[in-house]
């Protein structure tokens, strides 16, 4: 089921961009063979829609600004951290010189300025990427999940 959910989440993200509602997304997942428990699909749809709702606002913030709690998606993280920070990471392949962009995330308990979160991710991830012959050239925060029930 983990594979179906992972595939479903990729599809949900794409289908939300096309303006489809929850029922249409679930039908599309089922027809593609990527369905899983309905309650989990609905939870994933709400989560992705919540993160996407304020993404443009977050991307437009200055680095020295703290993201307002109202712009964070409330969700149960199933891990004892207050926040899950998502962002666009630019990764440089040291061998070929190619740069590619991917979405990455990390967990933290610290409510910080956008720039501090960006620096935190780059510092923490740099060593693991360098072992793979890659470098992180940039990380830009684009959305945040707040763990339900935890104080800000």
DSSP 75-96: E--SSS-SEEEEEEEEEEETTT
Q: Decide: 70 and 92 in contact? Cβ < 8 Å.
A: no
- Among 53, 76, 93, the domain boundary falls at 53
For residues 43 and 122, the model is more confident at 122
Does residue 58 lie in a domain region? no
Domain extent for 110: 63-147
The 10s digit of each residue's pLDDT in 67-108 is 999 999 888 888 999 999 999 999 999 889 999 999 899 999
Residues 74, 29, single domain; the answer is no
In this prediction, what percent of the chain has a pLDDT beyond 90? Answer: 53
Residues 70, 133, single domain; the answer is yes
Does residue 152 lie in a domain region? no
Residues 47, 68, single domain; the answer is no
Give the separation between CA 34 and CA 1, rounded to whole angstroms: 9
- The model's pTM is 0.77
Q: How many domains does the chain have?
A: 2
Mean pLDDT of the chain: 90
Out of 13-17, 80-84, 93-97, 124-128, least confident range: 13-17
- Among 35, 53, 71, the domain boundary falls at 53
Taking 90 as the threshold, does the pLDDT of residue 1 lie above it?
A: no
């Amino acid at each position: 089921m983990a594979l179906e959910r992972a595939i479903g989440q990729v599809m949900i993200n794409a289908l939300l961009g096309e303006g489809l509602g929850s029922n249409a997304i679930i039908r599309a997942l089922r027809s593609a063979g990527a369905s899983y428990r309905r309650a989990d699909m609905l939870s994933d749809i709400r989560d992705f829609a919540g993160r996407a709702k304020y993404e443009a606002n977050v991307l437009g913030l200055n680095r020295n600004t703290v993201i307002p709690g109202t712009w964070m998606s409330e969700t149960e993280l199933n891990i004892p951290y207050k926040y899950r920070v998502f962002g666009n990471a630019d990764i440089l392949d040291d061998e070929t010189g190619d740069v590619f962009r991917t979405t990455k995330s990390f967990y933290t308990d610290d409510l910080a300025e956008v720039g501090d979160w960006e620096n935190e991710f780059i510092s923490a991830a740099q060593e693991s990427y360098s072992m793979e012959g890659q470098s992180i050239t940039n990380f830009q925060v684009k959305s945040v999940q707040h763990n339900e029930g935890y104080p800000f």
